[in-house]
Amino acid sequence: AIDKLAKKTKPYIIAELMDRSNKELTEGAGANEVVSAGFYRTGIMLQSALYHGMSHIFHELLQYEQNKTSVFIVTEKNIPQEFYDEKLTFQDAARKINEKRKAPNPVILIGVKRGDQIILNPHS
């Protein structure tokens, strides 16, 4: 229905599900991404019970304000070609980014997105 209403703009559709087990069905119906508040709630409560203070980290990351640290996905067009040409490992890439770290907008590498998959802190 959303696609039909906005044929020209091709909106990127985020759907919320109560039960994540229906994720594939929802994606099949046209959702680009699926979120589930219940799944996140349980995960944050569990993590915070195990590692006290963890809920504050998620809270910080979910705030969308100026001068707040957020997660960004930097795509190929904004990454220096040398990262690909030199076949950098994750560790090499993190080192390079750390060397360029500047006070106005310090950057920390936390993962790689390959296709639809996000790999945080990948092993070699």
Which whole-number Å values give the CA distances from 30 to 14, 21, 23, 51, in the listed order? 9, 16, 11, 37
Our CB check for another protein shows the closer of 19 and 76 to be 76
> Looking at 9-17, 27-35, 39-47, 68-76, which segment touches another protein (CB under 8 A)?
68-76
Helix (H, G, I), strand (E, B) or coil at 86: coil
- Measured from the CB atom, the residue of 25 and 107 that comes closer to another protein is 107
Using CB under 8 A, pick the residue from 35, 42, 74, 95 that binds another protein: 74
Q: Which of 80, 95, 99, 116 binds another protein (CB under 8 A)?
A: 80
CA atoms in the 13 A half-sphere facing the CB of 114 = 6
- How far apart (Å, rounded) are the C-alpha atoms in residues 47 and 45? 6
The 3-state DSSP class for residue 43 equals helix
Binding site for another protein (CB under 8 A): 66-76, 78-80, 83-84, 87-90, 92-93, 97, 100, 105-115, 118-120, 122-124
